Structure 1
């Protein structure tokens, strides 16, 4: 993760059911639904001005750290999150079994 993003706080906007990362006066977000111990990650959105700078990846990594701290099981419904997990398979330990590749079961 870019060190500039490490120090930025992850905001859990429970009212809008989204995690937010504010970067340079813009907000990247991951929409979610929380049901018991399952955290479904539905959609990731990064403003055009921030795309290609690693903001989306930093946001997903922060969300996964949050899920681990809260002992939540992740359901990656968002294609961006699924791609991030494919690139960082060590995080599959948090993912619900039906959403892991066969090699990570």
Structure 2
């Protein structure tokens, strides 16, 4: 019987409100998803994972934490960042968080 691969690590995501970004500390580097808060929306502008840490699920963990925060705050998301936009297009369970203009852009309304 083959050994199963270990589960992916649980990344610790923190909201660094002073820098307007969600972050994951990676030892000598930091992965982050930047945002701007608007009155009823949160605009996701840029996501960056250091090249040596790509492909480990870090970007997805940042997005899931950011969208969970948006849901808790009652905010609609504006995915300016292409990584956020692609994630939200692929995951129906978060599409209710899309701002109306983006729902229309994605052909959801």
TM-score by length of 2: 0.83
- Report the structure number with the largest CA radius of gyration: 2
Size of the aligned set, in residue pairs, is 101
- Residues 42-80 of structure 1, C-alpha deviation per residue, up to 9 Å, x if partnerless? 000001111011110111011111111111111110000
- Structure 1 residues 64 and 45: CA distance shift in structure 2, 3 A: same
Q: Distance in 1 between matches of 2:53 and 2:89?
A: 22
Q: Distance in 2 between matches of 1:69 and 1:28?
A: 22
Structure 1 position 72 matched with structure 2 position 75 = yes
**Runs (4+) of structure 1 moved beyond 4 Å?**
none
- Gaps of at least 5 residues in structure 1 are none
TM-score by length of 1: 0.86
Matching residue of 1:11: 14
- Gaps of at least 5 residues in structure 2 are 1-6
